Structure 1
Amino acid sequence: MQSTAPNPLEYLETLPAERKEALGKLRNLMIENLPDGFEETMGYGMMGFVVPHSIYPAGYHCDPKQPLPFVSIASQKNFISVYHMGLYAKPELLEWFTSEYPKHVKTKLDMGKSCIRFKKPENIPFDLLAELFRKMTPQDWIEVYESELQKSKK
């Protein structure tokens, strides 16, 4: 379900109450915990944070007109999703997250390559996600991204 909302506040307004509260809390968590330099945006129908062109002029390799995506959140049909590109690109970060997750949530981790899915808002481990959001600066993400991009070109 891609939203056509032009900004995060309007996106939140379109959600049912139980989703609005959880996604609003996730948005605030990102605002409060992401290191300086990331910029809030709407992209691909989701609220998120990117490395802006002012810091990384090359932009996203799939579409250089777009800034480099880093983390996004969305209300999908059957779950709330958190997309964290660092988990996809940095194996040691993924290992840390998957080992910490059971310490915070009793339900099994439901995760794709970069997508963490929460079927019930009450199962979102806000403290763990806050810690995850603090772990990479824009420069850290650029270095990991460029390294992975170079590997894929070989």
Structure 2
Amino acid sequence: MKAEGTTVKEILERIPAERAVAFRKLHQTIVEHLPEGFEAAISYGGLGYVVPHRLYPQGYHCKPVEPLPFAGLASQKNSVNFYHMGIYSDPALLEWFITEYPKHSKQKLDMGKSCIRFKKLEEIPYALIGELMQKMSVQQWIDLYESQRKK
């Protein structure tokens, strides 16, 4: 499902009413816990949290005109989805998240490689997502990204 809007503000304003409160709260949690340097932006047509070109001029290797993605948020057909490239790229961070998740939510973790799906919006572990966002600095993400690209 493509995001409705071409700016962060438009996307947030156009979230379906039944998801608006949870989606906006999750966005706010992410923004409040973003380490310095990351910023909310449009990334691949959706709501993303990126390393801007001013800090990483090369951009994303698949599409250099796009800033380097770090995380994302989307309203899909059956869920609100949160994407975090750090847990995809760093096994220790993934293990930490998987271990911590049951302490914050009664809902079973529904996760792909970098995608965490929240089908029960009342079970979104906002505090855990905030903590996750603070686990990696911009420079740590750039270094990890570049080390993965060289493999």
Structure 2: unaligned runs, 5 residues or longer: none
- Alignment of 1:142 with 2:142, yes or no, is yes
Match of 1:123 in 2: 123
How far apart, in 2, do the equivalents of 1:15 and 1:49 lie?
A: 17
The TM-score with structure 1 as length reference comes to 0.94
CA distance in 2, matches of 1:46, 1:19: 16
Which digits, 9 at most, give the CA deviation of each residue in 1:84-128, with x for residues without a partner? 000100000000000000111112100000000000110100000
Report the AA paired with residue 75 of structure 2.
S
Distance 2:26 2:85 in 1: 16
- 2:114 corresponds to 1:114: yes
Residue 93 of structure 1 corresponds to 93
1:29 CA drift (Å): 0.9
Aligned pairs, how many? 151
Q: Which sections of structure 1, spanning at least 5 residues, go unmatched? A: none
Q: Is this contact kept in 2: 1:33–1:134, CA < 8 A?
A: yes
Mapped partners of 1:109, 1:75: distance in 2: 17
CA distance in 2, matches of 1:67, 1:73: 16
Query: For the Cα contact (< 8 Å) 2:3–2:47, is it kept in 1?
Result: no
Structure 1 segments, 4+ long, off by >4 Å, are none
Is the CA contact 2:80–2:119 (under 8 Å) kept in the aligned structure 1? yes
Structure 2 partner of 1:132: 132
Question: Offset at 1:71?
Answer: 0.6
Identity %: 56
Indicate the RMSD between aligned Cα atoms, in angstroms. 1.0
Q: Shift of residue 18 of structure 1?
A: 2.8
Q: Distance in 2 between matches of 1:38 and 1:7?
A: 16
| Counterpart for residue 42 of structure 2 | 42
Match of 1:80 in 2: 80
Q: CA deviation at 1:4?
A: 4.3
Structure 1 equivalent of residue 54 of structure 2: 54
Deviates more, 1:142-151 or 1:6-15: 6-15
TM-score by length of 2: 0.96
Instruction: Look up the SS of the partner of 1:36 in the other structure.
Output: coil
Cα deviation 1:110-154 (Å, max 9, x = unaligned): 000000000011010000000001111110100110111111xxx
